[in-house]
Amino acid sequence: MNRNLLSYLSIPLILIIIGLPLLTINPHLGTILVTSSFWLFLHFFLMHRIKRQAVTALHEHQRAEKFHAQHTRKLNERVKELRSLLEASEIMVQDELPLEDTLQQIVTCMPAALQNSEKAWARINLKGQSYTAGRLGDGPSISQPVISNGQHIGSFEFGYQQSSKNTEAEAFLAEEHNLLSILSSQVGHLYEKKTAHEQLQLAALVFDNSREMIAITDGQQHVLSVNKAFTKITGYHAEELIGKHIRTIKSNRHDKAFYTAMWRDISEAGFWQGELWNRSKQGALYPVLASIAAVRGKDGIINHYIAVSTDISKNKKAEEHIRYLAYYDPLTELPNRILLEDRASQILHKARNKQLSVACLFLDIDHFKTINDSLGHLSGDELLQEVASRINKALQHDEIAGRVGGDEFLIILADTEGSGAIQVAHHLLEVMAQPFVINKHTLYISISIGIAVYPNDGENFHELLKNSDIAKHKAKELGRNRYYFFTPELNEAAMERFTLERALRTALESNNLALHYQPQIDLKSGRVIGVEALLRWQHPELGFISPAKFIPIAEQSGLIAQIGTWVLQEACRQNKIWQENGLPPFTVAINISVRQFSLSNIASEVKQALASTGLLAKHLEVEITESLLAQDMEATLAMLQELSTIGVQIAVDDFGTGYSSLAYLKRFPLDKLKLDQSFVHDLEENPDDRAIASGVVNLGQSLGLGVIAEGVETEGQLAILQQLGCDEIQGYLFSRPLPADELADWLRNYPQQHDARTACL
């Protein structure tokens, strides 16, 4: 019993203690006291009982209120969770939003789902990108992986900004863990959905904007869909094709067997690729490169066909153009060498079986380079076209003409012997002699023709081509504007030329070329005033080869540029060595040919040679021909002025044999005229040569130019030249051309101070 209950029972007990003895003394009063104590005891007991029940009820009420408060809080958290899920779900179903915007909006509404939302943050890491809401901190956090198609693609995280005494398990409710798991799963599904949607959009974009024609049909080959390229190329609108059989665009160019084989491959292999011809709405045929694939359902039955085609009309035209270029000359539209060889082989095969003759005429335009250089390449091309047109008109229908390169044409005459070839050659010469009008210029040209006849002059196309070319070169040598038949002797000469050209290409590397020097004597003082450098070639097997043979070959092959550079360097180097060895200074003369001038920058090479050897410019003389003065006058003038400015002496070689003109002599910065040895050789017997020599000397003196005579071999020639007033001479009368070391010895033994006549005695 507690203290309160005892306090309540103390009064009834006192009454009983007093009342019990009174029962004997005063029964009535004792009974009253005992009875009163009983009722008083009952009252106090009941009051105590009621009070205890009231306290218990109060405690139960308090417990109920506490439970209700906890339940309410949990309901509020659940409401926050459900609200967050609802907001996230509403965001996720917005298909028009890009994936990045969707994720950012989802993560933005997440902190509100946590207990302490004002201190919370959320973050989604997905495919290397991070989307965050709230300020990150070092407080407790939880994370859940994001899974898509079975692969880990990122994570979803909740957390608090500051640390707390609570553990991670206490900081987050179970509902919050569950919320994070649900959201992570939804983000994974969202990524799959968005990715699939983007892929579908991309596929639709590719389908509609592809340059290839795309058509999709059902299993019965009825059109379900076509793209823009398909409608553009076929000319049909999509509405005109959808529902129609794909054979609507069939061209009927392919036979039944072709289509049978095609559909068999598609049915068996599921795929076919090849070239197809289809027909547009307007009826035009067009080629395509098609790929047709069969699509099967789960039951294995074909339910769709997909055809992807590329219009190859341009490719076909390009192929035809390439084929044309492969066999025809684009400028003249004549067969080229490849087609000529093919047709010639057919003609020769027939001639071989029937023992017939075939004539080949190799035609070349004389001086075509001059026309090109003077009027320009466009005019040259127009001339070639006109020549080709005249050749075509001059031939019979069974005679073949083609262009084999540059200004060279080949004509093949079937079943034709030498006499027939002569008739055609005469006719061609007459046709080409008629004037040509090119860009308002009237041109007169000539041609050279070489003729080779099967079987005597060649068994096949290549032999006939080569031998007719050789004969053409002979026609040019004989004066051009003519024809010439091939002979075995011509072939021998051509083979010799080929051998020399091949050997000449290695002559410099093999040190087979050398310079010999011929002294030049001043007639008044008798002193040696210069030497001319002359090229010599001593082949280890063929022996000495005359410059008259190999110099033309070097010019025609273009080797003259490389050889000329070497001659210039070597002559300057040697002259500098002579001076350093104590010989009196004099000039060394080198020859520059027309071909070398066109291939090289002579002024630049001269400067380089002088700089590298240290030779003074006044000790170098450049000899040019009259023909060079006549060609490209402005370029030649500029080059000679540049050489004259630096102090190089300039002489005109072989003067009187070319285009002698006072106009050239007046304009160009010349120092010397060189009288050709052809006029010196018969100087004693031929009065005409004496008159020419006298005229050259007088011309030179009147223009202030020195005159040197070459090829002086006799005392009589020397005497006449002295009488004419010639300034200088060179020739065998004094010395043949000598190697550098022998010339040095000769110079040391030569009496420098005697006059010319004394020197000759």
CATH of the domain at 258: 3.30.450.20
End-to-end CA distance of the chain: 178
| pLDDT score at 314 | 84
How many domains does the chain contain in total?
5
Q: Give the pair of three-digit tokens for residue 298.
A: 């789960």
- Give CA torsion, residues 473, 478, 484, 487, to 10 deg: -70
What CATH number corresponds to the domain at position 138? 3.30.450
Where does a domain end: 151, 175, 206? 206
Given a cut of 70, whether residue 511 has pLDDT beyond it is yes
Q: What letter would DSSP give residue 668?
A: S
200 and 60 both lie in a single domain: no
Distance CA 279, CA 234 (A): 7
Beta strands in 482-554 (DSSP E): 482-485, 513-522, 528-539, 543-545
605 and 737 both lie in a single domain: yes
- Higher pLDDT: 128 or 674? It is 674
| pLDDT score at 84 | 61
How confident is residue 757, by pLDDT bands cut at 50, 70 and 90? Answer: very low
Has residue 495 been placed in a domain? Answer: no
pLDDT tens digits for range 564-585? 999 999 999 999 999 999 999 9
| pLDDT score at 756 | 42
* CA dihedral for 634, 637, 643, 647, sign (positive or negative): negative
| pLDDT score at 753 | 42
Distance CA 692, CA 241 (A): 95
Given a cut of 80, whether residue 462 has pLDDT beyond it is yes
How confident is residue 169, by pLDDT bands cut at 50, 70 and 90? Answer: low
| pLDDT score at 731 | 93
Has residue 322 been placed in a domain? Answer: no
How confident is residue 412, by pLDDT bands cut at 50, 70 and 90? Answer: very high
Pick left, alpha or beta for residue 548 (phi over 0 → left; psi -120 to 50 → alpha; otherwise beta): alpha
Look at 198-207, 242-251, 328-337 and tell me which has the smallest mean pLDDT.
Answer: 198-207
Q: Give the pair of three-digit tokens for residue 353.
A: 């079986």
Q: What percent of the chain has pLDDT over 90?
A: 32
Given a cut of 60, whether residue 454 has pLDDT beyond it is yes
What CATH number corresponds to the domain at position 572? 3.20.20.450
| pLDDT score at 759 | 44
Has residue 89 been placed in a domain? Answer: no
Burial (CB count <10 Å: 0-12, 13-18, 19+), residue 477: exposed
Burial (CB count <10 Å: 0-12, 13-18, 19+), residue 748: exposed
462 and 519 both lie in a single domain: no
| pLDDT score at 482 | 92
Which range has highest mean pLDDT (15-29, 391-405, 575-589, 617-631)? 575-589
Mean of all residue pLDDT scores within the chain: 83
Q: Give the pair of three-digit tokens for residue 379.
A: 């005019």
Distance CA 381, CA 366 (A): 15
Has residue 574 been placed in a domain? Answer: yes
| pLDDT score at 761 | 41
Burial (CB count <10 Å: 0-12, 13-18, 19+), residue 726: buried
Has residue 414 been placed in a domain? Answer: yes
| pLDDT score at 501 | 82
At 424 the three-state DSSP class reads helix
Q: Which amino acid is at 693?
A: A
Given a cut of 80, whether residue 254 has pLDDT beyond it is yes
At 179 the three-state DSSP class reads helix
Q: What is the mean pLDDT of residues 516-542?
A: 91
| pLDDT score at 596 | 82
* CA dihedral for 400, 405, 409, 410, sign (positive or negative): negative
Look at 187-196, 357-366, 385-394, 666-675 and tell me which has the smallest mean pLDDT.
Answer: 187-196
| pLDDT score at 40 | 66
Residues ≥6 apart with Cβ < 8 Å to 366: 445, 446, 447, 448, 476, 480, 481
The secondary structure of the chain in percent helix, strand, coil, rounded to multiples of 5, reads 55, 20, 25
pLDDT tens digits for range 19-67? 666 666 666 666 766 676 666 666 666 776 777 777 776 777 667 666 6
Distance CA 213, CA 201 (A): 19
336 and 481 both lie in a single domain: yes
510 and 606 both lie in a single domain: yes
**Which residue in the block uniquely carries the two structure tokens 């020859």?**
591
- Higher pLDDT: 162 or 340? It is 340
Residues ≥6 apart with Cβ < 8 Å to 670: 640, 650, 651, 652, 703, 705
589 and 532 both lie in a single domain: yes
Given a cut of 90, whether residue 732 has pLDDT beyond it is yes
Has residue 683 been placed in a domain? Answer: yes
What CATH number corresponds to the domain at position 398? 3.30.70.270
| pLDDT score at 284 | 86
How confident is residue 711, by pLDDT bands cut at 50, 70 and 90? Answer: very high
Q: What is the mean pLDDT of residues 697-718?
A: 91
Q: Give the pair of three-digit tokens for residue 206.
A: 């590719």
435 and 294 both lie in a single domain: no
217 and 288 both lie in a single domain: yes
Where does a domain end: 206, 230, 249? 206
382 and 471 both lie in a single domain: yes
Q: How far is CA 101 from CA 81, 94, 95, in A?
A: 22, 10, 11
Q: How many CB atoms lie within 10 A of CB 340?
A: 24
Q: How far is CA 415 from CA 356, 567, 756, in A?
A: 6, 53, 71
| pLDDT score at 710 | 93
Which range has highest mean pLDDT (54-58, 144-148, 179-183, 617-621)? 617-621
Q: Which amino acid is at 506?
A: T
| pLDDT score at 300 | 85
Residue numbers of the domain that contains 642: 501-760
Has residue 376 been placed in a domain? Answer: yes
Beta strands in 37-85 (DSSP E): none
Q: Alpha carbon 517 to chain centroid distance?
A: 52
pLDDT tens digits for range 80-137? 554 565 566 556 555 567 778 888 888 887 787 777 777 888 898 988 888 898 888 8
Distance CA 361, CA 469 (A): 9
Beta strands in 366-435 (DSSP E): 400-405, 408-413
Given a cut of 70, whether residue 1 has pLDDT beyond it is no
Has residue 496 been placed in a domain? Answer: no
Given a cut of 80, whether residue 739 has pLDDT beyond it is yes
| pLDDT score at 755 | 45
Where does a domain end: 206, 225, 248? 206
| pLDDT score at 600 | 80
Residues ≥6 apart with Cβ < 8 Å to 703: 665, 666, 670
Q: What is the mean pLDDT of residues 730-747?
A: 93
607 and 746 both lie in a single domain: yes
pTM beyond 0.85, yes or no = no
712 and 604 both lie in a single domain: yes
β-strands 728-730, 513-522: how paired?
antiparallel
Distance CA 266, CA 305 (A): 9
460 and 523 both lie in a single domain: no
